[in-house]
Amino acid sequence: TCAPHSLLSSEATDRFVPELIMFPSLRLPVADAMWQPSLSQCSTEAWLSAEEARYAARMEAIRNRVPLTQPIGFDPKAQVEEVNAQVEEQDQMEEEEEELTDDDGPADRF
């Protein structure tokens, strides 16, 4: 595989433009690597797939990260109580629906 970090080093830029030794490059590293494909030993497709894999791995790490402390306002006991209250409310609604029958409707009074 290729090493894209070698493309982004200042040594590669300094070989081509000696005046830039004192001043850092202000170009984006990704754009810099894309504009100079002759520096790489691997194909652009392989480099791009490697970058996509690194990005996906970083996103997965962020998704799976556990907070160091409990978030402010988060009470796990209250969360369980809310779920139980919702279940009880649904049970009550079902009981009320069972109590009402078609005979109780206003159409039967006429």
CA-based nearest residue to 54, from 110, 2, 17: 2
CB 10 within 8 A of CB 25: yes
Q: Is the dihedral of CA 105, 106, 108, 109 positive or negative?
A: positive
> 56-65: long-range contacts (C-beta < 8 A, 24 or more apart)?
none
The predicted-structure confidence for 20-61, as pLDDT tens digits, reads as follows 456 666 666 666 666 665 555 668 888 899 999 999 999 999
| CA separation for the pair 58, 64 (Å, rounded) | 10
The predicted-structure confidence for 74-92, as pLDDT tens digits, reads as follows 777 776 666 677 778 888 8
| CA separation for the pair 108, 110 (Å, rounded) | 6
**Predicted TM-score of the model (pTM):** 0.32
